[in-house]
Chain A
């Protein structure tokens, strides 16, 4: 049996990153993700890696950009207000097609918001955040185990598709402790012939760049990038289905909200309500096919989110509004109880949504 260790969610990300071959971490302090930086600060010097506390979130993401362009596995982590500051770098990294891993342990917003868990950066993560046409692979862990395994997966996907992988976690999963194993994730490596290594006077110079002053060239670049994104959308959606076989109602939730929702689904089943759960694990690419298939058989959907309702827009979009979608939400750092979600399921059954 695989060795299991008890770890905090944030530390699991840091340890998984190191096991995935990441030896460069650049960050700036912000609650509630500080354990990641602290772990890296302790470990990196011992294993020949680099931990550097940058002067700002902006500097840290641009250090990530430089190190990524130099061809190493590199990451940064932050929380919501900090990720807003990183948006500039995220856009440049996307426009230059270099791979990076960025962690957002979300807290409530907008503005300085609060320091309690939230999922209100769904739009920012999945729809942009920075300027221009681009996408990031967005992975939403719902357990400490997934904090680890999705971090390793995130590095693999970033290198494979030359994109940023974002781990979109929240303060709860970041702070809680669960037993985990690191042995289920495979570490993939990819050649990086585009990297800045110095020409050694043996090849033409490599240029990492997002500037294309000729509009036709920029258009071609963007079309090419979106062709790559199409492959990601085809091959990489991940989701979990729970009690969906005979479901008449479908709860959709990710991250910590899905843990609460799962309890509520079990409780509703005990009352005889045929309800199931779809948990998107990749928020981009969104598990469109699973949602559309569910729309063919269930009577309605219930979105459970720690926001004012952001993922619900994608649920409506990808179910093509074939069925009603209701929202069961808390925000600002509040988390719904299983009973609140159960009540939302009961309402859906009564057709009150």
Chain B
């Protein structure tokens, strides 16, 4: 029988630990497919975060390092500066990237560090059991905002793409989603571009992937994807927030 669908080579053939219905599996796969298609598996070095994707170092078959919480862009900077010929990516969640690691995120973007950042925004701390994240929506009920996120008490969610795109530094800042087939296809295109930018030496590329957390949102996987559409995407609109090369071409 002909094989029509395979696991990407860059993804290890082992069970993932993610919860049922969690889009991390899709996003891992997209990253791995892109690495395969670009033929860079042998020279890619991945940086895993602290959070749900903490064990990504077991799943990707390229060289991997586990960073401290929020420090993935700094660790990636060290690797890239030591080995500019390698391709370096980080894979981070919202707590990691937009809360404890905000300084590392902003400054690696400002330096236009030639790395690729995959930022998975599911509006909650998943690994620790569903606490309020820097991206939790106003009114969102979490373990640490049991009465709903009160913006007067703990402030507003952070729109990472909007913020980073105000910087001169970064090459490419974009937001995608993986809640339906069309969005998944577009997400892959954006991830591919983010890696291609690095190969071309263009600099810092960040792809925010609006994701879901059925377990900690207390929803079925189906309902969670609907909530992405109805609640997440209006607050975090899909789109290209910065694309320096494209902007230059237009001029």
A residues sitting closer than 8 Å to B (CB atoms) are 24, 26, 50, 52, 54-56, 58-60, 62-72, 74, 88-89, 92, 96, 196-202, 205-211
Contacts and interface: CB of A to CB of B under 8 A. Distances in A.
B194 to A, nearest CB: 18
B118 to A, nearest CB: 17
Interface in B57-81: 57-58, 60-68, 71, 74-81
Chain B residues touching A, range = 35 or more
A59 B54 CA distance: 19
A69 B65 contact: yes
Interface string B29-66: 00000000000011111010000001101101111111
Contact of B82 (A72, A208, A210, A211): A72
B78 A70 contact: yes
A198 B44 contact: yes
B103 interface: yes
Nearest to B48: A209
Nearest to B55: A211
Nearest to B47: A66
B77 A207 contact: no
A26 B82 CA distance: 11
B104 interface: yes
B86 A59 contact: no
Given A59-B71, A63-B78, 7 more contacts: A24-B82, A55-B107, A56-B103, A62-B71, A64-B78, A96-B65, A207-B65
B110 to A, nearest CB: 8
Interface string B76-114: 111111110011000000000000000110110000000
A74 B82 contact: yes
Contact of A52 (B44, B60, B61, B77): B77
Contacts of B64: 196, 205-209
Given A66-B78, A70-B78, A205-B64, A200 B43 contact: yes
A196 B63 contact: yes
Contacts of B74: 54, 58-60, 62-63, 66
Contact of B75 (A50, A65, A207): A65
* A interface majority secondary structure: mixed
Given A55-B107, A197-B86, A65 B45 contact: no
Given A62-B71, A62-B75, A66-B82, A209 B66 contact: yes
Given A197-B86, A205-B64, A208-B66, A59 B81 contact: no
Contacts of A208: 64-66
A65 B57 contact: no
10 contacts: A59-B107, A65-B68, A70-B82, A74-B82, A198-B42, A198-B63, A198-B83, A199-B42, A201-B42, A207-B58
B81 to A, nearest CB: 5
A235 B61 CA distance: 38
A210 B82 CA distance: 21
B77 to A, nearest CB: 5
A67 B83 CA distance: 8
A88 B234 CA distance: 38
Interface string B7-47: 00000000000000000000000000000000001111101
Contacts of A58: 71, 74, 103-104
B78 A207 contact: no
Nearest to B62: A205
A198 B82 contact: no
Contacts of B68: 62, 65, 88-89, 92
A209 B71 CA distance: 14
A197 B47 CA distance: 13
The 4 tightest CB contacts between A and B, nearest first, are A66-B78, A63-B78, A62-B74, A198-B43
Nearest to B65: A208
Contacts of A206: 63-64
A62 B104 contact: yes
Contacts of A92: 67-68
A153 B77 CA distance: 27
